[in-house]
Amino acid sequence: MTEKKRTTIVLFSGDYDKTMAAYIIANGAVAYDHEVTIFHTFWGLNALRKEDKVQVKKGVIEKMFGKMMPRGANRMGLSKMNFAGMGPKMIKGVIKKHQALPLPNLIEMGRDQGIKLVACTMTMDLLGLQKEELSEDIEYAGVAAYLGDAEEGNVNLFI
């Protein structure tokens, strides 16, 4: 009996392009029969946000963060050449043209294929994001759980 290989990604960035890269690698690794975890922290949590507004009680700063951060993967900007939103439109245009998968579909596919999607509880607190605002079927954990996965890992990335 051989053990499964393991890919563990810390998704820190809240950019459409970087999140795409993370999920393309993750989906590839699942296809390669790895156990895959994506640990969403800081701005990476926004990939897990529901698109619709959710009514929750928040402090003032948390409300501001909530307003300024994108609700869901589809609203994220690019890490380069964002041009106030033109860049993401261009990328989505070429994705469609080449019949590649847009980011929300990549995430959906990841979830369906059994990638473990984890939200970092500590940074949820800091940014004031609550469980009701994040998508279903995800897990909640801290840095200890991340390290438990990562220290046995073959491919560890911080994106």
Binding to a second copy by residue 12, rule CB under 8 A?
yes
Q: Among 49-57, 111-119, 133-141, 149-157, which window interacts with a second copy (CB under 8 A)?
A: 149-157
Six token digits for residue 26: 């993750």
41 near 12, Cβ under 8 Å? yes
147 interacts with a second copy by CB under 8 A = yes
Q: Shortest distance, CB of residue 136 to a second copy, whole angstroms?
A: 25
68 makes contact with a second copy (CB under 8 A): yes
Interface segment toward a second copy; rule CB under 8 A; list 49-57, 61-69, 108-116, 133-141: 61-69
Q: Using the rule CB under 8 A, is 57 a contact of a second copy?
A: no
- Cα dihedral 124, 125, 130, 131 in deg (nearest 10): 60
Does 61 participate in binding a second copy (rule CB under 8 A)? yes
DSSP class of residue 126 equals H
Task: Please tell me whether residue 85 binds a second copy under the rule CB under 8 A.
Answer: no
Residue 93 contacts a second copy per CB under 8 A:
yes
140 binds a second copy (CB under 8 A): no
For 67, phi then psi, to 5°, come to -75, -40
How many other C-beta atoms lie within 10 A of the C-beta of residue 88?
A: 22
| CA dist., res. 155 & res. 38, Å (int) | 12
> Shortest CA distance to 19 belongs to which of 79, 92, 71, 69?
79
Q: Of 128, 114, 140, which is closest to residue 60 (Cα–Cα)?
A: 128
Under the rule (CB under 8 A), what is the footprint of a second copy? 5, 7, 10, 12-14, 17-18, 21, 24-25, 28-29, 31-32, 34, 41-43, 59, 61-62, 64-65, 68-69, 79-81, 90-91, 93-95, 97-98, 100, 122, 125-128, 143-144, 146-148, 150-159
